[in-house]
A = this chain, B = another copy of it.
Amino acid sequence: MTQDVRIAELADWAGEVVRVRGWLYNFRSSGQIAFLLVRDGSGLVQVVASESDVTEKEWEEIETLTQESSIILEGTVREDERSPGGYEMHLRDIEVVQRADDYPLALKEHGPEFLLDNRHLWLRSPRQVAIMRLRDRLMAELESFLRDDGFIRVDTPILTPNACEGTSTLFETEYFGEEAFLTQSGQLYSEATCAAFGEVYCFSPAFRAEKSKTRRHLIEFWMLEPEMAYYDHEDNLHLQERMMESVMARVLDACADELEELGRNLEPLERVKAPFPRITYDEALKILDEADIPIEWGEDFGAPHETEIARQFDRPVFVEKFPGECKAFYMEPDPDRPEVVLAADLLAPEGYGEIIGGSQRIDDYDLLRRKIHEFGLPEEEFSWYLDLRRYGSVPHSGFGLGIERTLAWIAGLDHVRETIPFPRLLNRLRP
């Protein structure tokens, strides 16, 4: 029986007869020769068919083949530098599994809503394949970096009884007679697990029922959240720098083809080297003043502010020491200046804005309890969280990295909707 081979592995089979099972992506014919561009999910290959090498019936099928028809091809692998992967296949036999008629996403321009309506098919296009391969690689390299660094993955729940950062943007569901919410962050739980395992991360979907329709917002997104016992604010930022530098290098190395497919300018990505510049929130406010988009002390940044701040630097920049009033209740105050907290956002360049938000967490029981009350949260729901400050409390820190925003930046995309296989947006729950 002829060997089934993935297109990405054809180089290992030069001179041999193999089978490729895939779909027709494009077709052109010149007289007695036809060129079939075939995809199988692992890559693209050009298949050369000569009228003289196949039966009359097969030649007829080839000449009328349509985009996205599923086909099984048998032929000889030949090196050819003009072919997408450096190899082409000379056809000996073809089986049409299913002829696809009237494929909705033929090779022409379509509007974004039409493409999103057909997301289940749109994912087959070379551009979307490249984005999803980048996504896969980014996620794998992030986890791999953390594991190599001694972290273990400890999952946190999606269904929770309490809100981590306010209740206005929560999805609610009924949990056997009581109300439950879909998580916005696994952080509070990771604070418990880092006291058990030292250095942990959780990696799961998170949900924000925000009524905003911007290029940066998804309703359902994936977040990677490391949490580290005995790390202070400085340790936290150092880890983030090391991680971003290392992961970026590995992604650039592994995904050169995908980044080329996307036409990504690699120069800004190659500059992602530690140390990253750091400015305080107060310094950021000066930049915004000078750029004529001032904000009041105590306000958080919007997208234009983040873009303007990031524009001043040639690589990702940390903005640190935010006013406590614009951040979450659990953040450790700066001992030198208690009105600001030991938190930092990492802003990506080129207008992509915040990709990481992190902080040192309050480890003092009394202070945390006071903050829970100040923020109007029900102490009872946080009793387990307060326990972490009763029984062997330690300085600890953590951060959350948004996969889709980070990917949008690396891939150089205009809109975050292309960064996740099935985006959930304000007006979109389908397919």
A residues apposed to B, CB below 8 Å: 4, 6, 8, 21-24, 40-42, 68-70, 72, 97-98, 100-101, 103-104, 118, 120-121, 123-124, 128-129, 132-133, 135-136, 139-140, 143, 147, 150, 152-161, 171-176, 178, 180, 182, 189, 192-200, 204-205, 207, 209, 211, 219-220, 222, 229-230, 363, 384-385, 387-388, 390-395, 420-422, 424, 426-427, 429-431
Chain B nearest Cβ from A167, distance in angstroms: 14
B-side contacts of A159, CB under 8 Å: 171, 207, 219-220, 424, 429
Given the known interface contacts A41-B198, A42-B198, A171-B173, the answer about A154 and B421 at a Cβ–Cβ threshold of 8 Å is yes
Task: Establish whether residues B97 and A128, one from each chain, have CB atoms under 8 Å apart when the complex forms.
Answer: no
Bound complex: CA A380 to CA B104 (Å): 17
Bound complex: CA A252 to CA B37 (Å): 45
Of listed A140, A159, A199, residue having the most chain B CB within 10 A: A159
Given the known interface contacts A121-B391, A174-B172, the answer about A199 and B41 at a Cβ–Cβ threshold of 8 Å is yes
Task: Establish whether residues A391 and B103, one from each chain, have CB atoms under 8 Å apart when the complex forms.
Answer: yes
Task: Establish whether residues B222 and A41, one from each chain, have CB atoms under 8 Å apart when the complex forms.
Answer: no
Task: Establish whether residues B392 and A100, one from each chain, have CB atoms under 8 Å apart when the complex forms.
Answer: yes
Q: Of the candidates B23, B154, B388, B426, which one forms a contact with A195 in the assembled complex, judged by CB atoms under 8 Å apart?
A: B23
Chain B nearest Cβ from A2, distance in angstroms: 14
B-side contacts of A175, CB under 8 Å: 171, 219, 429
8 pairs from A and B in contact (CB 8 Å cutoff): A41-B198, A97-B395, A98-B363, A100-B390, A118-B387, A129-B196, A136-B154, A155-B421
Bound complex: CA A285 to CA B156 (Å): 40
Of listed A104, A136, A150, A363, residue having the most chain B CB within 10 A: A136
Task: Establish whether residues A123 and B421, one from each chain, have CB atoms under 8 Å apart when the complex forms.
Answer: no
Chain B nearest Cβ from A214, distance in angstroms: 15
Given the known interface contacts A41-B229, A69-B392, A422-B156, the answer about A384 and B431 at a Cβ–Cβ threshold of 8 Å is yes
- Whose C-beta in chain B lies nearest to the C-beta of A221? B155
Task: Establish whether residues A392 and B204, one from each chain, have CB atoms under 8 Å apart when the complex forms.
Answer: no
Q: Of the candidates B160, B222, B393, which one forms a contact with A70 in the assembled complex, judged by CB atoms under 8 Å apart?
A: B393
Chain B nearest Cβ from A218, distance in angstroms: 10
Given the known interface contacts A23-B195, A41-B198, A175-B171, the answer about A156 and B97 at a Cβ–Cβ threshold of 8 Å is no
- Whose C-beta in chain B lies nearest to the C-beta of A395? B97
Bound complex: CA A222 to CA B203 (Å): 12
Task: Establish whether residues A180 and B429, one from each chain, have CB atoms under 8 Å apart when the complex forms.
Answer: yes
Given the known interface contacts A124-B196, A173-B171, A192-B123, the answer about A157 and B220 at a Cβ–Cβ threshold of 8 Å is yes
B-side contacts of A172, CB under 8 Å: 173-174
Q: Nearest 9 pairs between A and B by C-beta?
A: A41-B198, A384-B431, A120-B192, A70-B392, A41-B197, A68-B392, A123-B196, A100-B391, A124-B196
B-side contacts of A153, CB under 8 Å: 136, 139-140
Task: Establish whether residues A422 and B123, one from each chain, have CB atoms under 8 Å apart when the complex forms.
Answer: no
Chain B nearest Cβ from A234, distance in angstroms: 13
Of listed A101, A150, A175, residue having the most chain B CB within 10 A: A175
B-side contacts of A157, CB under 8 Å: 220, 421-422, 424
Bound complex: CA A427 to CA B161 (Å): 13
Of listed A23, A139, A194, A421, residue having the most chain B CB within 10 A: A421
Given the known interface contacts A153-B139, A173-B172, the answer about A120 and B387 at a Cβ–Cβ threshold of 8 Å is yes
Task: Establish whether residues B430 and A161, one from each chain, have CB atoms under 8 Å apart when the complex forms.
Answer: yes
Given the known interface contacts A70-B392, A176-B427, the answer about A41 and B155 at a Cβ–Cβ threshold of 8 Å is no
- Whose C-beta in chain B lies nearest to the C-beta of A422? B157
- Whose C-beta in chain B lies nearest to the C-beta of A43? B198
Q: Of the candidates B23, B129, B135, B394, which one forms a contact with A392 in the assembled complex, judged by CB atoms under 8 Å apart?
A: B23
Task: Establish whether residues B123 and A176, one from each chain, have CB atoms under 8 Å apart when the complex forms.
Answer: no
Bound complex: CA A426 to CA B180 (Å): 13
B-side contacts of A132, CB under 8 Å: 152, 154, 193, 196-197
